[in-house]
């Protein structure tokens, strides 16, 4: 009985119960049984204290009331949303492809601009040195042909302003207008036509004209530009 009581009640409760039992003549505890009961109570308290100490060691001391508590967010196993979060894979690939093409085109334009400026410097140096522009050749071709073929508007305009022969022929009989039409360069065709290029000039054994090239290649804008001279 005393062991069952000591497991549930503390010392004061047991003493009070024994005192009530003594007054009611329900039990007359001997000093030995009372001492045994108190010892069991003390032993139970020591066991509970050891268990509490072990629990505190595992969980750590409780934070102070005035100290800030930092609670880290639980890991969900998912990455943080990125730039393409929620976008289908096909759309992502399309975006990346467009960005690459834009960058490549920008690099190409910078390269073309650099080459055009380099050619303009060479041509202007040749002219400023007092040489005849009509005698200038690049790989057997007049420089105006090269400018028309590559779309170098600044070079072509400079050459025309300094007396270049607009209807000069290359080794196969093509004029600068033939090259501009073949390159499908509407702006260059317009520049040459405004400066008197002959649109009916025939080249080679097939009597190829700029208009024939444009129609065969399906360059409708070039055809319209060539026919503009009739109006």
Residues 36 and 120 in one domain: no
Of residues 202 and 4, more confidently modeled: 202
Q: How far does Cα 170 stand from its chain's mean position?
A: 47
Query: Is position 166 within any domain?
Result: yes
User: For all residues of the chain together, what is the average pLDDT?
Assistant: 75
3-class DSSP state of 208: strand
Query: Is position 99 within any domain?
Result: no
Give the residue-averaged pLDDT of 33-41.
Answer: 65
Distance CA 38, CA 61 (A): 32
Question: Residue 139: which pLDDT band, with cuts at 50, 70 and 90?
Answer: low
Query: Is position 164 within any domain?
Result: yes
Query: Is position 79 within any domain?
Result: no
pLDDT for res 57? 63
- Total domain count for the chain? 2
Can you name the residues that pair with 203 across neighbouring β-strands? 208
pTM of the model: 0.52
Give the residue-averaged pLDDT of 92-98.
Answer: 87
pLDDT for res 188? 95
Query: Is position 74 within any domain?
Result: no
CATH of the domain at 218: 1.25.40.20
Q: Give the residue among 160, 150, 166 at the shortest CA–CA distance from 127.
A: 160
Query: Is position 170 within any domain?
Result: yes
Quick: pLDDT tens for 54-66.
766 655 555 555 5
Query: Is position 77 within any domain?
Result: no
The parent domain of residue 133 ranges over 115-230
Q: Give the residue among 111, 175, 105, 125 at the shortest CA–CA distance from 147.
A: 175
Which of the residue ranges 70-74, 119-123, 193-197 would you say has the lowest mean pLDDT? 70-74
Quick: pLDDT tens for 179-207.
999 999 999 999 999 999 998 888 876 78
Give the residue-averaged pLDDT of 157-182.
Answer: 91
pLDDT for res 21? 53
Residue 165 DSSP one-character state: -
Question: Residue 133: which pLDDT band, with cuts at 50, 70 and 90?
Answer: confident
pLDDT for res 27? 47
Which of the residue ranges 65-69, 94-98, 128-132, 142-146 would you say has the lowest mean pLDDT? 65-69
């Amino acid at each position: 009985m005393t062991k069952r009581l000591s497991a549930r009640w503390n010392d004061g409760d047991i003493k009070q119960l024994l005192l009530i039992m003594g007054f009611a003549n329900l039990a007359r505890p001997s000093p030995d049984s009372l001492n045994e009961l108190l010892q069991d109570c003390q032993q139970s308290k020591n066991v509970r204290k050891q268990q509490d100490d072990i629990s505190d060691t595992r969980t750590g001391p409780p934070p102070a009331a005035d100290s800030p508590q930092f609670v880290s967010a639980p890991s969900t196993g998912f990455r943080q949303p990125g730039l393409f979060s929620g976008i289908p894979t096909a759309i992502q690939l399309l975006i990346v492809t467009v960005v690459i093409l834009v960058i490549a085109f920008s690099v190409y334009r910078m390269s073309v601009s650099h080459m055009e400026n380099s050619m303009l410097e060479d041509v202007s140096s040749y002219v400023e040195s007092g040489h005849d522009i009509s005698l200038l050749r690049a790989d057997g071709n007049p420089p105006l042909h090269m400018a028309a073929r590559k779309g170098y508007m600044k070079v072509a305009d400079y050459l025309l302003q300094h007396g270049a022969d607009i209807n000069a022929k290359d080794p196969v009989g093509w004029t600068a207008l033939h090259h501009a039409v073949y390159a499908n360069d509407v702006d260059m065709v317009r520049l040459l036509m405004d400066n008197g290029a002959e649109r009916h000039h025939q080249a080679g054994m097939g009597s190829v004209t700029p208009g024939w090239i444009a129609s065969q290649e399906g360059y409708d804008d070039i055809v319209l530009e060539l026919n503009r001279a009739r109006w």
